[in-house]
Amino acid sequence: MNTSNIIAVAILSILTAVGAHAQGFEPVQPLKIVGSRAQLEAEGAAAARGGNVYGDVVASPLTTRPSQLDRASVRAEAIAAAHAPNQNLDRRAFANSEVPPQFQGRQDARPGR
């Protein structure tokens, strides 16, 4: 009993000694402002216009491609797909992920599923 108390006290004293030798915290350095408020606002606006200079992707303007189909044909395709009997068909729902023959003649199952 006495030996276990001595060992416990020794371990606690070692832990407190290690904690006492820990690195101290350096306080935050005081802020040194160089320039006027207007000058800093101008620099900030210029940096915002410059974009993200540290980004790894070059920003390119969005472009649109003209569609090969007219509005009516796109609408007709959407309606046909919505009314298809197997629109929610998932290959994973069947054995060996194979679509049954009764669905082969109709609209294909969703690709990649």
Q: Which string of DSSP letters, residue by residue, matches 32-62?
A: ---S-HHHHHHHHHHHHHH--TT-SS-----
Q: For the chain, report the end-to-end CA distance as a whole number of angstroms.
A: 68
Long-range contacts, stretch 101-110, CB < 8 angstroms, 24+ apart = 107/81
For 30, phi then psi, to 5°, come to: -65, 145
Which of 82, 92, 85, 83 lies closest to 112, judged by CA? 92
pLDDT digits (tens, 9 = 90+) for 45-75: 998 888 777 766 666 667 788 889 999 999 9
pLDDT digits (tens, 9 = 90+) for 17-49: 766 666 667 777 787 878 888 998 999 899 888
Which of 113, 90, 112, 59 lies closest to 103, judged by CA? 90
pTM of the model: 0.31
CB 106 within 8 A of CB 89: no
